[in-house]
């Protein structure tokens, strides 16, 4: 989760695509260069440990766009694919 947030913050779309599950990954990803990511809050985690094959992360990511603050909140699912943790999708709240 933190590495994906960092990739958003530095505009690394290639890393985001590589860390996305093959069944839910978009073909392309265009990041808005006008969005400045400022802070990540990990609110909760469930599973995702060394011997797990799946886990969830509830987070809030703060940003500024056109000088205005904003927040993205999500409850994300991650799974192992080929031995690596990848983002699968967002759970409904």
Contact 44, 57 (CB under 8 A): yes
User: What are the boundaries of each domain within the chain?
Assistant: 2-90
Q: Among the CATH numbers 3.30.300.20, 3.10.450.50, 3.30.565.10, 3.40.640.10, which is that of 2-90? A: 3.10.450.50
Render pLDDT for 6-37 as a digit per residue (tens, 0 to 9). 999 999 999 999 999 999 999 999 999 999 99
Contact 20, 86 (CB under 8 A): yes
| Cross-strand pairs, 14 | none
Instruction: Label residue 93 by pLDDT band (50, 70, 90).
Output: confident
Average pLDDT over residues 56-73: 97
Distance between CA atoms of residues 61 and 4, nearest Å:
11
Render pLDDT for 29-64 as a digit per residue (tens, 0 to 9). 999 999 999 999 999 999 999 999 999 999 999 999
Q: What is the pLDDT of residue 52?
A: 98
The pTM is what?
A: 0.93
């Amino acid at each position: 989760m933190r590495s994906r947030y960092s990739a958003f913050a530095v505009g690394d779309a290639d890393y985001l695509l590589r860390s996305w599950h093959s069944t839910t990954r978009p073909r392309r990803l265009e990041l808005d260069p006008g969005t400045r990511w400022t802070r990540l809050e990990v609110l909760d985690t469930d599973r995702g440990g060394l011997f797990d094959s799946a886990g969830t992360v509830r987070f809030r990511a703060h940003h500024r766009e056109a000088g205005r603050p904003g927040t993205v909140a999500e409850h994300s699912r991650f799974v192992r694919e080929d031995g690596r943790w990848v983002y699968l999708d967002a759970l409904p709240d």
